Amino acid sequence: MDVLPTRALRAIAAGLGALVLCVAAPPRSAGAASSAFDVPAETVVAITIPASARGADVTIRSWDRPQIQVESDGADPSVTRRLVIYGTVRYPLAQEIPAGVFRRRVNGQDVGTVTLPPEVFPYASFRAGPHDYMMVDVTEPARMTITVPTSTALLLVRASSGKTEIEGYRGANLVVGQGGGRVDIEDSDTTAFVQMNTGNVWIEDSTFRRVRVRVNAAQVAFERCRSTQIEASSVSGTIVYDGGWFEPGLARFDSQSGNIALGVSSPAQVTGRSQGGRVYALFDRRPGENVEQRGENDATAIFGSGGPLVNAVTQRGNVYLYDGSAARGRRERRLPEYFSGSSPPRRPGGP
């Protein structure tokens, strides 16, 4: 991390950090369909979808051009640019997530609140110093496509609700915070943090050097993903990691009352534990695969003669361990529902 050696330099940096170079999106003519903005490498892109744009359908893609392009079926969003100095107290080299307080519902009734504690998520491959900071504020619930450069240092998405789809993102870091609706991440390769209250988080065909997902009651599904470091947690939502690969590194899934289902497609040693539920091993034992059952709520499954250590822990839910994918023969988008019951489903891959 760069350290500014004198108070004078700190004052200069603070002044630059506060400098705002407003670049308003140009008015769109009747025949125009998009607006484009030239940006340098390692730009930070912050997309905000407030409650006033609730129900917006936003797709975010990346390309090999030094430009941000915004296409909208409705009004153009507000786009502004400023210069931010990272590696300072105000802009650290990490995402600081404040505590989140959410309503807790059981059978459709409010029964109190739940609190997700504050957390710090360090950025990967992110240098200290000045970065162009592009702010895209969605102003109405329109259908919109925003394309960002593959050289993006950090993509921040904050949304009240609606559908947010991130396709083919190759930037260094991705941070998504959404209250409800749906978040889809497809064919991406990055370091990511995702937080959601209710709704659905669906992540497909993606590779993560590090990924952190935490939700209240949202349903979480990973399909055909490859992870080096992964932490996924919920208060009551079901978490499914289906047909996935684990590289050597941290791998932990935990929930207070939700179920956890892990379908493994690579060598791994997976341990499942539940205080008030059960642990089920739902696979045909093949050469190199073995299960050590230590009571109905504690088991370790070895896939492919063993590999990275993976832990799945729930206080009051169930844990399901299986090989490969459960999506065969059923609608993939219903995977969390498939594993959300209190009793074990049929063998994955069955009819």
Write out the DSSP string of 127-194. Answer: -SEEEEEEEEE--SS-EEEEEEETT-SEEEEEESSSEEEEES--SSEEEEEESSSEEEEES-EEEEEE
What is the helix (H) or strand (E) element at residue 335, kind and residue range? helix 335-338
- What is d(CA 102, CA 106) in angstroms, rounded to the nearest whole number? 13
pLDDT value of residue 351: 40
Domain segments of the chain: what residues? 1-27+35-103+127-181
Cβ 317 vs Cβ 259: under 8 Å: yes
pLDDT value of residue 324: 85
Under DSSP, is residue 34 helix (H, G, I), strand (E, B) or coil? strand
State the pTM of this model.
0.85
pLDDT value of residue 41: 96
Structure tokens at 145: 């496509």
Name the β-bridge partners of 119. 97
Task: With cut-offs at 50, 70 and 90, classify the pLDDT of residue 337.
Answer: confident
User: Regarding predicted confidence, which is higher, 341 or 135?
Assistant: 135
User: Regarding predicted confidence, which is higher, 26 or 229?
Assistant: 229
User: Regarding predicted confidence, which is higher, 226 or 303?
Assistant: 226
User: Regarding predicted confidence, which is higher, 8 or 347?
Assistant: 347
Tell me the average pLDDT across 135-139: 93
Q: Is the pLDDT of residue 20 over 50?
A: no
pLDDT value of residue 332: 52
Q: Give the lowest-confidence range in 99-103, 153-157, 256-260, 261-265.
A: 99-103
Identity at 145, one-letter amino acid code = T
* Chain mean pLDDT for the chain: 85
Q: Is the pLDDT of residue 348 over 70?
A: no
